[in-house]
Structure 1
Amino acid sequence: MAYQNFTDLDVYKECRQFRMAISLLVKARFPPDEKFRLADQILRSSRSITANIAEGHGRYYYKENIRFCRISRASLFETLEHLITAFDEKYISDEQLVDYKAKVDLCGRLLNGYINFLKKQQKPREEDG
């Protein structure tokens, strides 16, 4: 199935929901003295997830799209590390960390699936050769 826009991708939709959840978390739970430290880092890494999906989609070449999806996946795991730091600093509870980790896992599975889809699309088809 060909997509007209990156916003149609399930992986983008799920990662967008995750990004918005992180934004709400930062606004509600992080102290003001973290504004230019952990809060800034976690917002940047979570925004990088969806931004790289969008940028890769706009490249129109499978190999470049895959590269940007891998960067997106790295930003996803960076965001998880920031969530672990937030837990260690007592900004979020153990239950919240578990919930966010489940969201990270889902986004990661979707990203891996999308990367695998793109890899298959870039290979020459047997009937063409």
Structure 2
Amino acid sequence: MAFQRFEDILVWQKAQNLSVFIYQNFLKSKDFGFRDQITRASVSISNNIAEGFERRTNPDFIRFLYFALASNSEVRSMLYLSQRLKFLDDPTTKELIDKTNEILKMLYGLIKSMKDQPNS
């Protein structure tokens, strides 16, 4: 792998930032179930990247990157729902959805580059 530490992976950094934004925007939500689900899903993105990286094999890393993709999609789906439920205003929702779309593209790019490596 080209990275020495998972902390060096840009998509991990972006996923961590997304989690911070999610926590900040749902901190005062009175819907505890919703808040718990979206914050857990957001944290799961960076955690799966880190866990997969530490497995130290390309197939395992790729598998965990797919888990991160699934968590990212869960967050994006919940953001659409939060907008419909008026938990967030439209500009904030758009900003957070844009962040999930950026993470999506980066994860797919990382998966592709891992699959293209000869030892995968």
TM range (shorter): over 0.9
Equivalent runs, 1:90-129 vs 2, <5 Å: 90-121=86-117, 123=118
Q: 1:120 corresponds to which letter in structure 2?
A: D
* TM-score between both structures, scaled by the size of structure 2: 0.94
| Structure 1 residue ranges without an equivalent (≥5) | 125-129
Deviations 1:50-75 (A, max 9, x none): 01000000111101100000000010
Q: How far is the alpha carbon of 1:114 from its aligned partner? A: 0.7
Rg: which structure is higher? 1
Show structure 1 runs of 4+ deviating over 4 A: none
Pairing of 1:62-101 with structure 2 (within 5 A): 62-101=58-97
The 1-side partners of 2:54 and 2:80 are apart by 32
Query: Shift in Å at residue 20 of structure 1?
Result: 0.9
Task: Classify the secondary structure of the residue corresponding to 1:4.
Answer: coil
TM-score (norm 1): 0.87
The total of aligned residue pairs comes to 119
Q: Percent identity?
A: 29
Give, in whole Å, the separation in 2 of the partners of 1:19 and 1:119: 27
Q: CA deviation at 1:118?
A: 0.8
C-alpha displacement of 1:2: 2.2
Q: Equivalents in 1 of 2:106, 2:59: separation in Å?
A: 18
